[in-house]
A = this chain, B = another copy of it.
Amino acid sequence: VESDVFLADCPARTTLSLVADTWSVVVVFALRDGPNRYGTLLTRIGGVSKKMLTQTLHKLAANGLVERRTIRSAPPGTEYALTPLGQSLLEPVIALSRWAERNAEQVAEVRDGGR
């Protein structure tokens, strides 16, 4: 039989579209070394708006990939961490990110050369 990611309206595709977007990949990748504060993520990740970061974080949290904790010690704040489920996503995400880093130049070359 065909793989499930080929079928529309199936759990596999729904799940894929949850994580197969740039912000999700970057955010999960950013949490690979451990918990991060909201503000830290905002500054570490370039070009992301508060709105998008909050939205992505909450979307991932609502689906059990990320956990949100409140910090009471000084300075108070919020931190986000990968859940075990989120950590299981880490391997594919890291592989994809590394691929993008390694092949960025070649892709750019082809794209610009092809015009």
Contact = CB atoms under 8 A, between A and B. Distances in A.
A78 interface: no
A70 interface: no
Contacts of A93: 96
A63 B100 CA distance: 12
How many chain A residues sit at the interface, stated as a range, is 35 or more
Contact of A85 (B18, B44, B103): B103
A108 B16 contact: no
A16 B25 contact: yes
15 contacts: A3-B29, A4-B101, A8-B47, A8-B48, A10-B46, A10-B104, A11-B105, A12-B97, A13-B22, A15-B104, A15-B108, A20-B25, A20-B100, A88-B103, A92-B92
